[in-house]
Structure 1
Amino acid sequence: MAALAGLVATGCGRAGTPASQQAAEAPEGAPSPGRTLASEMTVYRDPSCGCCKAWADLASKAGYQVSVVDRPDIDAVKKQYGVPDSLRSCHTAIVGGYAIEGHVPFEHVAKLLETRPAGIKGLAVPGMPRGSPGMEMADGSKDPFEVMAFDGAGRAEPFVA
């Protein structure tokens, strides 16, 4: 997993939409236009969680074809996809064979899909930090957060976009 550090971020785009329009429509933290991404993303969420829907809407604006599945048993989904207990958040997305846990910025998702680092099961932003995608605050306040890559054994380390 140490090979993750220092990789260059990649972007995504939507066919048929000019890059300038994509940039204007893209959510904060979205990758730059002009790249291809794994288009289908399934977001599993607790039906009572509103921020999960906000993150899914941002994913759609970033160019993913998003399906949202309400799951009252969301912990079973996290277990199924190998999300370590210490990294869990409010929703789990599956894209390109990877688990994306919580409010992960889309440039990190795009980088993961393009580079496909060996041994990685997914990315996570533990908890629900203010200011992360889908957790924007009206007053602009933000909590520091770190995107973590995790493997099948539950080990995690920072993932830099």
Structure 2
Amino acid sequence: MTEERPRKKSLHQGRFLEMFELEGWEYVDRIGSSGVVVILAVTDANELVLVEQHRIPVGSRVIELPAGLAGDLPDAEDEDFKEAARRELLEETGYEAENIKFLCEGPPTAGLTSEIQTLLRATGLRKTGPGGGDESEDITVHAIALEELDTWLASAAKRGCLIDPKIYAGLYFLR
């Protein structure tokens, strides 16, 4: 006898997200991507590359590691995550990476979304462009010396920025 698995029910579909209900639990799936890449980019001068941008859902500027979607471009649904990381790093920060290394992956908010984020380390960086994101983004790029990072993040928080905890998780891999 085969046990029948519960079926998820679609509650709403927007341009970027679809909301589902399964066994009384509501959650969202991202539409049109295969995952999210988060980049721990460290320059040869031992600076951590961060981005700052206004995030509408939290109504604030947020300091984050560079990140973006994989497999979200037409005809690139099977995009390699390392290539997605290279593309997003260049687009958001203007840095090209000689080396990209997988660090870990996991759910950022397992109670809300099925999304899995992949953390990758980028080294051998060269600044080749301005960064700042695409036409829909307003990104400020920061390259902060690792020995000054704690003070810098505290200062950013004092001026009203939210600090993404993935920064602190990423620092684990720099020990």
TM-score band by shorter chain is under 0.3
Larger Rg: 2
More strand by share: 2
More helix by share: 1
Q: Tell me the TM-score normalized by structure 2.
A: 0.26
